[in-house]
Structure 1
Amino acid sequence: MDRDDTTLRVLSTSDLAGLDITLADVVDTVEQAYRTLAAGTSDNPRKLTVKPDDGHSVSYAMLGRDGVRNVVAIKTSYKHGLHENRDKQHYYTTLTIYDDVTGLPVAMMDCSRIGSLRTPAVSALLARECAPDATTALVIGTGTQGRLALPFLLTTLPKLDRLLLCGTHPDGIAAVRTELARHFPDRDVELVTNLASAARDADVIVATAGAHTAAAVEADWLKPGATAILVGHGLAPSTLHRADRVIATSEAQMRVTGTDMADSKGNLPAVDLELPVVVSGVSKARTSAKQRIFAYNSGLVVTDIALGHRFAQLATDRKLGTEVALWR
């Protein structure tokens, strides 16, 4: 079907699952989005959040523009059942992209795979900038983000020789091992039971656990020069408040979504640098080898847009998706 201003290509979960993309391609796409944002040619307004008083659900809406790809997109995210176990929660996220040159819609897609790739890629970029010589990495959590954390870290940290995992769910642990073997068949991961001991050994810690986790790395457990990256849960607030440096993908978003890390007065410390500035080369994340760095990975919609557009290109090349006459 010829594209016009009444049709929209809809890409389902299964459409996107069939697309091959390398971890290096994902990292490069995400990094380009940050560089473009730092150059001032992209727009990434603060996300809108809606959450009922009882906290049973949360909804986000994020609008952005990629100035290199010349596309505009909006991402929506809705999670229901936050007080339930993960298997009882409902989660839906979509990305709708428009071509800002032709004025035509590009695609509407399930955004779950994009998020599952984008987030660990961002953690890997944070790790590369904050701990380029890291040899030991610890991942906390075995959910969606935990399963790809190690393969992405190995992509950006070539000196890693020891991989540690803290998790309690057998299926999740097995999934982490499966993903690692798929991307790096010659590597294995050590399952740790003493979190404090493992944290003291780690150069990089990536905390991806769910809200119900009992894991909470304290600042005293971090060795000099360690980098602690928060994606979900697994770090105690002390790792933020006692950090020598604080790096965030976005300080504004950290202040919206990172309130569980606030002190007893509800305050969060100032952010020293944002990741787009760091990857652009303007400033260095680390100014001393002994600094303990806290990094907050909240994700920016411009990275979803760039990666979503990359997937849309791959899907179009393979003629995947369904053309829907949405506006006819």
Structure 2
Amino acid sequence: MDIRIYNAFDTTAELLNVTRAAERLNMTQSALSRQLKSLEDHLGIALFEKTGRNIRLTPEGEALYGRITNVLAADRNLMTYARDLARGDSGLIRIGACSQLMERYFPQFLRRWRAQNPGIEIRLEDGGGPELAQKLLDGKIHLSVSALPSTPHDLLETALLGQLGFLAVGERGLLPEGNAPIELEDLLEKPILTLNGKHASRELFDAACKISGRTAEIILESNSPHTLFAMATCGNGIAVVPSSAQPPLDTLTSRPIALNGEVVRFAICAMWNKRLPLPAYGQRFITQLGAHIDTDQALEDGRLPGARYGRLEAI
């Protein structure tokens, strides 16, 4: 049923005068009468009855009046929501990210972004890079934030957000004094605690080890950097984590990892399914998250004095 017919009934029920209702609706009286008759035929009940020169609602019309008013209100809300969607002011976006990236970059950024975009509902999901890529392909999430995959996928679009490095985290007695980067070759002389293969960064760390010509003695593979830190606290080895992780520096020390004098870097990116284009607010989220990460990256670079940087993808 045309929403304009419901509006014709609502206006006539309010004024209880067909002539005045037709004037407000900017239509002829006969056209309004035809619309009211069409609605009565559609519903199978009489909505109005004559009382001399006037009309009044039938008991059935009275009962339906409130419901049709609700239908019109819902239609107005729907149209407003649609206009907001077109402007990128309302919507839902499901975002997957690995725990380290979420802990490092999302808390302050997300609070600020939500305040600036109150009509956008965001739902977050924790997961590793390969797992999130599959969920993008399955349509279970709209966007992922993770390390850039070493092998691109034809159905996934990417936008670079910044770079990360690797940190060696351990007891002060197991790592050399100072803040200078530690060479991977020297690091691999010690027992290693590392993330498991669910994390895209693990593949990149394995590639760096292969290039160094050394084999890591891995004594623990975990899904959580916090488990690695707990083991490192008691001297069980050196935790190797992306620089987005936040080690407890009151009990441990951390050093950037270098390969042949260059601090190892790898790209992080946003990814989405090419078959499911992101709305304007999704693209806006990516752009602003990238700016936030750039700011944080500049601060991190300032904490690595005298280091030269190399991208792991070029190694």
Q: Normalised by the size of structure 1, how large is the TM-score?
A: 0.28
Which has more helix, going by share of residues? 2
Q: Normalised by the size of structure 2, how large is the TM-score?
A: 0.29
